[in-house]
């Protein structure tokens, strides 16, 4: 009986800790174009925000919703469906994740469909 209980416990999948809460800004590279992107993370939720002035930005293709991290993968589950001309850049699904202090890089796809997000967490200097 003890053996079967321990076997059940080892088959459970544990999600990794969420990203550090805060505002991350940087870029999305896709099909030779670089777009400004910024994401606000809070616990297990996220919200992409417009730049307010960058020449190339993802607006109106901005999403918000929940995310989860498992090992080196981040999965975005949007709660909205933005209406935009380039639906390929909507943040949804699984991305490979690299975290390095206040910087995060996540990507998916290959070749012409490769999307690379490179964002840095803005730290208040008090």
Cα 67 to its chain centre, rounded Å, is 7
List b or e across 87-119, with b for residues whose CB sees 16 or more CB atoms inside 10 angstroms.
Answer: eebbbeeebebeeeeeebbbbbeeeeeebbbbb
CA-wise closest residue to 109 among 81, 78, 88: 88
Domain ranges in the chain are 15-121
Q: Which fold has domain 15-121?
A: Lipocalin (2.40.128)
pLDDT in tens, the chain (126 residues): 443 333 333 344 556 878 999 999 999 999 999 999 999 999 999 999 987 666 788 888 999 999 999 999 999 999 999 988 888 899 999 999 999 989 999 999 999 999 999 999 998 744
pTM across the whole model: 0.83
């Amino acid at each position: 009986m003890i053996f079967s209980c321990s076997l059940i416990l080892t088959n459970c999948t544990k999600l990794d800790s969420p990203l550090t809460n805060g505002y991350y800004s940087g870029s999305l590279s896709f099909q030779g174009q670089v777009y400004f992107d910024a994401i606000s993370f809070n616990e297990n939720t996220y919200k992409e925000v417009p730049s307010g002035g960058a020449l190339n930005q993802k607006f109106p293709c901005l999403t918000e919703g929940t995310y989860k991290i498992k090992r080196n993968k981040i999965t975005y589950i949007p709660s909205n469906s933005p209406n935009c001309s380039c639906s390929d850049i909507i943040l949804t699904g699984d991305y490979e994740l690299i975290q390095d202090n206040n910087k995060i890089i996540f990507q998916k796809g290959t070749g012409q469909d490769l999307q690379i997000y490179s964002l840095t967490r803005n730290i208040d200097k008090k």
